[in-house]
Amino acid sequence: MEAELSPSVLGITMPENLAVGLMIAEHRARCASRGCDFEYAAFALGQSPFPVPDVVAAALREAASHGEYVPTLGIRPLLEQLPGFWARHFGMQRTADDFVVVPGAKAGIHLLLSMLRGPLLIPTPAWVGYGPLATLVGKAVERLPTDQAVGYKLDPERLESHLRAASPGQRLLILNSPNNPTGAVYTREELAAIAAVCRRNGVLVISDEIYALSTYDPTQFVSMAAVYPEGTFVVSGLSKFAAAGGYRLGLVVLPSECSADHRQIFQKVGAATYSNVTTLVQFAAIPAFADSPVMVEYLADTRSLHALMARELQRRLRAVPGARICTPDGGFYFMLDLNDVAPRAAARGLESSGEVAAALLGHPIHVALLAGEATELPAEDLSFRVAFVDYDGAAAMRRYRAERPAGPVAEAQFVEAAAPRMTEGVERLSRWIEAL
């Protein structure tokens, strides 16, 4: 018997980054059959290349015998680590009861979208995950395009004029800083201007701060909750800063004026769906949030390596005529804009970012980029997300600790040695653009 599916599920598309993974597998099989041994330069997938911190992996092993159910909102020893962590890294004063442990940042956003009324405002370009989550919970989406000229940051005036023209009622705004796909980090002033508009118009913010700890200059990161404490739900977690996406441990930080009722709703919805985040993973997460010299060193080195990789790849791409790039201030991504070569691409029948991305993936270039259209840019905008994490993070970290490179020449040599697939990929990409 054919099962009938609910309409919200039928509307879901496969996130483009995962679709690219499948396309790479197909190309690899095809190329192998014709003896092509090209290595793929995987600039499309974004996950931390580093090993899970030793203290976290060891805590996971030790927690293996914890098979018991635990409270839905999170285990107490983990919740009690979090206020100290938020104070040290973000200068914010929170209590253990302001936090909810959830099965990953994505699940945290899903929970919030299911619990909070109103349409979702998404500034674009945007992370590939927001659209499908909104579809899944049947939420209307209103998109707010941003301009490359201002680093793809949401313009508060555009937000205000959108709200003025919109139907009345509560709305949710998803804000992501540092941003995937652009690498943009909002300043305190920029956040305060957006907060003022939100406050005036009854807009709640879901602030996706999953990349906060990879802001290259950590003093530059400001949480939306610092300027809009009463209306911001922060989403965070282990996935990016502790290279532990597969652990599935995220956090929601509740607004300062969140009532006990809201906490209870979280408890009820969590209890009704997943009971609790995997108990042993919660125990493993405790040392990730603890104030220890090993975590301080791990965070400083991973952040520096992300910044170094971004700088060096950008230096190389800037030398390519027709390539424009936006400098990231945090995270693992930046945008590459090839619109200057659009007429030459069109002459070869490539008229959308998806078509260009497919051509780059094919033989003999084998470079995987995420097409701008997957990040909700118009298809004809030839912009692409470059993820710069395709290297052996453990080896790079050892090398970095042994010989911290200083200056452009040493950095170029370091990246050449530590991330050869990426430098080779940029080389092939550059040749392709020049030969268009």
- Binding range to ligand PLP, per CB under 6 A, among 101-109, 187-195, 320-328, 358-366: 101-109
246-262 burial, b at 16+ Cβ within 10 Å, e below that, comes to ebbbbbbbbbeebeeeb
Q: Does 329 bind ligand PLP (CB under 6 A)?
A: no
Reference 430, options 315, 305, 307; nearest CA is 315
- Binding range to ligand PLP, per CB under 6 A, among 76-84, 100-108, 311-319, 418-426: 100-108
**Contact partners, residue 51, CB within 8 Å, separation at least 6:** 57, 243, 393, 394, 397
Confirm if 288 and 56 have CB atoms less than 8 A apart.
Answer: yes
Among 101, 197, 204, 210, which residue interacts with ligand PLP (rule: CB under 6 A)?
A: 210
Place of tokens 């997957």: 374
Site for ligand PLP in 162-181 (CB under 6 A): 176, 180
Total binding residues for ligand PLP by CB under 6 A?
14
CA atoms of 54 and 60, how far apart (whole Å)? 10
Site for ligand PLP in 122-161 (CB under 6 A): 127, 129
Nearer to ligand PLP, 51 or 420 (CB): 51
CB count, 10 Å around CB of 198?
Answer: 26
- Amino acid code (one letter) for 228: Y
CA atoms of 94 and 98, how far apart (whole Å)? 6
Nearer to ligand PLP, 104 or 405 (CB): 104
Residues 255/110/245/62 CA torsion (nearest 10 deg): 70
CB of 237 to ligand PLP, least distance (A): 4
CA atoms of 101 and 251, how far apart (whole Å)? 5
Among 74, 104, 131, 151, which residue interacts with ligand PLP (rule: CB under 6 A)?
A: 104
CB of 109 to ligand PLP, least distance (A): 7
Site for ligand PLP in 243-302 (CB under 6 A): 245, 250
CB of 320 to ligand PLP, least distance (A): 26
CB of 126 to ligand PLP, least distance (A): 8
Site for ligand PLP in 47-76 (CB under 6 A): none
Interaction site with ligand PLP (CB under 6 A):
46, 104-106, 127, 129, 176, 180, 208, 210, 237, 239, 245, 250
